[in-house]
Structure 1
Amino acid sequence: MREETIAVRARVRHEPDRSYAVLVDGPDGEVEVGRTFTTSEVLALARAGAARLFGVPVESIRTDAGIEFPRPPYGRDGQWVRIVAATDPDDPSEAEQVDRLGQAHWFGAEGAWFVTVTGSGTGVHPSEHLDFAPTVRDEEIAAFHAYISASTGRDS
């Protein structure tokens, strides 16, 4: 016998402490099912919370529509950020970006930021890996603009 699956809608609410509240539409309306400081835990929290709400195994829960992950209130497109952590610190390409300045743009489909970093291009970074109020040195800005100009073939 094939087990039925339940498609649920979930969303994230940004909290003042920079945690993520995970909300799921359950049988009695929207319910907060957990909080985390890590974007990578959001989907698991949504599925586990929905399973509890509907009284079914986690494997029965689908989030076909994805999770609505709005732009955080503390970030804006084009602002300077400093990378303060790597998802995999053992990966040299990620570890080398820690403490580097970048320019961020929200990427809602990933619930994260596209961050362009001098010398290494653009990558996706979760909010918790970024300092949104970095100290920025003039030479970092100059190096960034030179890098962008060189990569686009334009003079600034």
Structure 2
Amino acid sequence: MGDQPKRVRAWVRHLADRSYVVLIDGPDGEVEVGRTRRTRDVLSTARAGAARVLGVPEDGLGLDDIALTFARPPYGTDGQWVRIVAVENSHDASEASEIGLLGRAYWFDHEAAWFVTVTGSGTSLHPGEHLDFAPSVTDEEVAAFDAYISGANQRP
């Protein structure tokens, strides 16, 4: 690749089981370089696969050398109810306390994740694999959420 790192175009294809296929533009066109079930592993999968396909050492490609496009998933719509079913670090009490909470989700392209607002703890980013997009929702949960949102928008 010479002294200048080559910019590699990579993208994600969503599968029905909510896993991801990672593809790159190789010398002979589109090449599948790996699959993962975790959003956080997509970029490293693209990097390792690009190095393999291009025949260069993996450390010869920086993460900035990968131009990753992470398309909006085919599941989920902005403003829909979701339930948090997992977190990155379940040993962190502040993260683990979100498991089971109901929220409203909005896709955030730049982060390839969902902004989820939940009652009492505000808004945070969650990868799609941490969310249930068809939760059972109680009237009490909806009322608590609406009250929280209404109160959050009021100035003192």
TM range (shorter): over 0.9
Where in structure 1 do 4 or more consecutive aligned residues deviate above 3 Å? 62-66
1:44 is aligned to 44
- Residue 42 to residue 150, structure 1, CA distance change in 2 (3 Å): same
- Residue 64 to residue 109, structure 1, CA distance change in 2 (3 Å): farther
Structure 1 unaligned blocks of 5 or more: none
| Aligned-pair CA distance for 1:4 | 3.9
| Aligned-pair CA distance for 1:29 | 1.0
- Taking structure 2 as the reference length, the TM-score comes to 0.93
Query: What per-residue deviation string (whole Å, max 9, x for no partner) do you get for residues 24-67 of structure 1?
Result: 11111111111111001101100000001100011222444641
Which shifted more, 80-89 or 26-35?
A: 26-35
Alignment of 1:39-118 (within 5 A): 39-62=39-62, 63-64=64-65, 66-118=67-119
Give the AA of the match of 2:152: S
Other structure's SS at 2:30 match: strand
Query: What per-residue deviation string (whole Å, max 9, x for no partner) do you get for residues 73-104 of structure 1?
Result: 11110000000001011111110000000000
Q: Is the 8 A contact 1:4 1:60 kept in 2?
A: no
2: CA distance, partners of 1:28 / 1:110: 30
| Superposed CA RMSD | 1.5
**What is the aligned residue count?**
153
1: CA distance, partners of 2:142 / 2:67: 36
Residues 1:127 and 2:128 aligned together? yes
Identity %: 62
1: CA distance, partners of 2:65 / 2:125: 22
- Taking structure 1 as the reference length, the TM-score comes to 0.93
| Aligned-pair CA distance for 1:3 | 4.6
